[in-house]
Amino acid sequence: MWYHVEIEDHSIISCRIIGKFRLNGQKLTNPVAVGDEVEFEMEQDGKGIIKKILPRKNYVVRQSPRKKHYLHLLASNVDQAILIMTIRNPNLKQGFIDRFLLMTEPYNIPTTIVFNKADLLEEDDLLMFEYLKDIYEDIGYPVFKVSAIEGEGIEKLREHLANKISLIGGQSGVGKSTLINAVLPGIDLRTDDISDYTGKGQHTTTFAEMFQLPGGGQIIDTPGIKTLAFSHLEPKDITHNFREIFVASEHCKFSNCSHRNEPKCAVKEGVEEGTISELRYANYLQLMDDTEGQNYWERHKDM
């Protein structure tokens, strides 16, 4: 595996890395990620060997899709994340938003949700967009509507990206690379029609790559994410990273309230009163169940 390391004069050195690397004691499928700062030594052949990864300001990590007990590092040292979603083509998978936010909340990485392919939206789809926009903007995540093909919203997105390091993430086929092409004309990233939107289709972008914005800042294109699973998380990580649920939990009767069946639960009250979105709460319960289920089998795997 070769990593492209950019040096001060902006030239690129191909580097390898030797040894095993861990993150908080957990095994990683990839020792370095886009956005990492590294120290390396030059070899005689003009290639380098990475000797050290500098401390990370933050990182975005998930369970490896191939190896359950490994983590996959998506990117490090980012200023913000931009989650690209679609309502049509591929059809909306709303649960993906809250799963994605579980990767960015632990480090408080500001996240914007961008609905692409606005040109395909019909009346009902626009209502769905407004519904989700209200929910997420209410809890502090900006929500945009853009069309990479027709140019709607691209200037606003470009301004939003200026002078920042932005991770662009989302499922395959939502138009991440097409959007980067629209924001940065001339870089001409490969994009493709994906015949099979169920997720079995080929990913067009196969590795994460960082691009310079002309006025300053960087943008990171990443391969499409099929599913997001979190066997490395515990129920308390879910509780802490649904931000409005965490804020409300201060007023629950029990300090270790799981916000499911406990009496005098401020979160359940919030859902009833409408200050906490029912959709978010349903997703929260689902993720709590998932994590507990996983951990159950984890604890009993030797049986």
Ligand X SMILES: Nc1nc2c(ncn2[C@@H]2O[C@H](COP(=O)(O)OP(=O)(O)OP(=O)(O)O)[C@@H](O)[C@H]2O)c(=O)[nH]1
CB atoms closer than 10 angstroms to residue 156: 13
Residue 234 host element (H or E): none
Instruction: Return the residues of window 246-285 that contact Zn ion according to CB under 5 A.
Output: 252, 257, 259, 265, 267
Taken in order 27, 111, 39, 43, the sign of the CA dihedral is positive
Q: Mapping DSSP to helix (H, G, I), strand (E, B) and coil, where does residue 295 land?
A: helix
Q: Does 183 bind Zn ion (CB under 5 A)?
A: no
Binding to Zn ion by residue 239, rule CB under 5 A? no
In degrees to the nearest 10, what's the CA dihedral of 283, 287, 293, 296?
Answer: -150
**How many residues at the interface with Mg ion, by CB under 5 A?**
4
Return the H-helix or E-strand segment holding 56. Answer: none
Q: If contact means CB under 5 to 8 A according to the sort of partner, which of Mg ion, ligand X, Zn ion, none does residue 291 touch?
A: none
CB-wise, 205 or 258, nearer to Zn ion?
Answer: 258
The number of angstroms, rounded, from the C-alpha of 94 to the middle of its chain's C-alpha atoms is: 14
Q: Give the pairing type, strands 111-116 and 80-86.
A: parallel
Q: Give the x-and-dash track for 170-189 against Mg ion (CB under 5 A).
A: ------xx------------
Instruction: Give the one residue of 165, 174, 252, 276 binding ligand X; rule: CB under 6 A.
Output: 174
Q: Is 241 in the site for ligand X (CB under 6 A)?
A: no
> How far apart are alpha carbons 235 and 290 in whole angstroms?
9
Q: 301 Cβ partners below 8 Å, 6+ apart?
A: none
The CB-of-131 to ligand X minimum distance in angstroms stands at 20
At its nearest, how many Å lie between Zn ion and the CB of residue 267? Answer: 4
Asked if residues 98 and 283 have their Cβ atoms less than 8 Å apart, the reply is yes
Beta bridge partners of 48: 15, 42
Q: How far apart are CA 292 and CA 166, in angstroms?
A: 32
Taking the complex as a whole, how short is the minimal distance between the CB of residue 296 and ligand X, in angstroms? 33
| Residue whose Cβ sits closest to ligand X | 224
Q: Which is nearer to ligand X, 35 or 175 (CB)?
A: 175
Tell whether residue 288 is a contact of Zn ion (CB under 5 A).
no
Asked whether position 148 contacts ligand X by CB under 6 A, the answer is yes
H or E segment at 167?
strand 165-170
Interface positions, 181-240, toward ligand X (CB under 6 A): 191-194, 203-205, 223-224
If the CB atoms of residues 48 and 173 are measured against ligand X, the closer one turns out to be: 173
Enumerate binding residues for Mg ion (CB under 5 A).
Answer: 176-177, 204-205
Which residues form the interface with ligand X (CB under 6 A)?
116-117, 119-120, 147-149, 172-178, 191-194, 203-205, 223-224
